[in-house]
Amino acid sequence: MELISSFVSSTASDAWTVIYNYSIHITATLLVLYVVQKAIYELYFSPLCDVAGPWYAVISNIWLTGHRLFFRQAMAVDALFEKYGPVVRVGPRRVAFNDAGAARDVYVDCNFDKSTVYQGFKMNGHDQSINILSGSVHALRRKAFAQHYTTANLALYGPEIDEHVVQSVNILRTIYGRRPVNCLELFPQLLIDVMCLISSGVRGEALATWAKTFSDETNVPDLLSVALSDMPAFCDMRGSFPTWMWNALCRIPNKRWNQFCQSESIVTQFVTARLEEIRKRVWAEEGKIQNGNGHVKVDKIPLLERFLRTSPTSPEKMIDEDIIAETMGQLLAGIDMTAMTLAYLFWELSRRDDIMTQLRAELDAAMPVSNGSGRAFPDIAVLNELPYLNGFIKEGMSNTHNSLRTHSAGPSLLERVVPEPAVDSWSKESTPDFDLLGIPLPPGTIIATQSWSLHRDPYIFPEPDLFNPDRWLNDAAERTMSGAMMAQQMIPFGLGSRMCGGMNLAQMMLRFVVAAVVRNFDVVAPAETTEKSMAMRELFVSAEFAGSVD
């Protein structure tokens, strides 16, 4: 009996092994067949099969996602434009294009909705303006904060912003000559303090804390500053993985990684606390008004208070979770992009004495020297009228997606979705497919352009990789033609109704900081800061600020 039992057990075990092995082989075979048939379909039978593009990008989104994760997407797509022309297929349902006229059709005239790639920028599961897909829904959200970033309203914060800029210059004076200063450590602290002021009315301590840490590395960095610095990469990485996979990755037991994954929670706690503080003050003011003992000062209010004071019957009124999400999104946008641009602008100054000389001469002529306290700090009304400074900023805005032509901080694809065709109510006939430079695209196709490529068109920008502020200073006759063409090609802040809502603040801060530093310091890059280290995929820049020049 024992022999029979052993034989039966062995036979059953062998049978299960055979079944298991067959299952593995069948599953693998089916998977291979699926991949092959999908590749054949995308290459030869898809509605987009006639759009030029490399086969490895056409059959799967892996190619594009991989370049995105390694911060090389813009350059990889630009290389495809050079090889295949202005319209190229970069995924099974994705088409990239490089044409300013078509960009205005997509982003301005048609105002297509965004693709789901932006959903990684939700804050705690709630929408903020950058990730709202629908154009009509976004228009309501934008209306709630548009007034806050007008030039007139930002001017009310001018004195406080100037104080923060002065503080950063004074910090640079105290650490002069000791060791190089990493611009992508210093400038975010300045911008954090400014954004905290504008969004919540709180005077930040990021600059002061950073200065202490720089002087004594045993000091603990500001937790909020670290979280705000981490969040752009956090949102981008989170959006690149399925939710279940991202949640699993966040459980990896590493102290710095866990802090990185907690960045959203830390910023949420900060904004929530400020919201509650402002709510209590607003309620107290309203109580005084009801008793006839007070009035509301509405000429200068922080963003959170502006949201709270929106009429309950207004379509722009938001629940608390949306207020917190929107404020968090604007904090990030106001810090990361501007800091990146400043870093690249000073990198250019560190290796271009000719630009530094012209810029300083223009600033010196426009602003007097203060009495015994060094060079005077800038006035924004004066800075806005300085042609070489404006040319310097524009050239920066157009050269990386953040600096603004050559170093623009948002160089990558701005994805939109081709909508379903409209149906005529009388004839019941639908409109033809959307035409992109002569190529019909079916509904559901994701289309996108990128500033990295538009800003490097050699026909519009001769020697496109050369940082040349003089290109914006041509004589009046030439400026009428070439200047208009350059302006049309420039999209550092996006296009249409989805343009960056805080672009006035960004340009204000760029002018303030550039003028203050150029007036008071020479900019010298240390030996370790090279063209290679400053490639856009490298997320750091180091520059040494030498003593002030008379």
Q: 10 Å Cβ neighbour count for 452? A: 24
Residue 500 among known ligand-binding residues: yes
Residue 21 CA, chain-centre distance (Å), reads 49
Residue 242: both structure tokens together: 């399925």
In 3D space, the residue among 234, 314, 311, 303 whose CA is nearest the CA of residue 267 turns out to be 234
DSSP letter at 438 equals T
Q: CB pairs under 8 A, 24+ apart, for 152-161?
A: 153/300, 154/198, 154/504, 154/505, 154/508, 155/380, 156/299, 156/300, 157/197, 157/198, 157/300, 158/380, 160/197, 160/203, 161/194, 161/197, 161/508, 161/509, 161/512
Q: 10 Å Cβ neighbour count for 339? A: 25
Give the per-residue SS3 of 389-409.
Answer: HHHHHHHHHECCCECEECCEC
Q: Where are the beta strands (DSSP E) in 206-360?
A: none
In 3D space, the residue among 402, 414, 232, 400 whose CA is nearest the CA of residue 329 turns out to be 232
What are the residues whose beta carbons fall under 8 Å from the beta carbon of 128, sequence distance 6 or more? 121, 122, 141, 322, 325, 326, 328, 329, 330
What are the residues whose beta carbons fall under 8 Å from the beta carbon of 272, sequence distance 6 or more? 324
Q: At CA 56, angle to CA 236 and CA 92, rounded to 5?
A: 65
How far is CA 24 from each of CA 15, 20, 21, 534, rounded to the nearest angstrom?
Answer: 14, 6, 5, 48
How far is CA 268 from each of CA 122, 130, 249, 323, rounded to the nearest angstrom?
Answer: 12, 17, 21, 11
Residue pair 186/168 in contact (Cβ under 8 Å)? The answer is: yes
Q: 10 Å Cβ neighbour count for 431? A: 11
Q: How far apart are CA 143 and CA 123, in angstroms?
A: 20
Q: How far apart are CA 241 and CA 485, in angstroms?
A: 39
Q: Which residues are annotated as a binding site for heme?
A: 500
Q: Which residues are annotated as a binding site?
A: 500
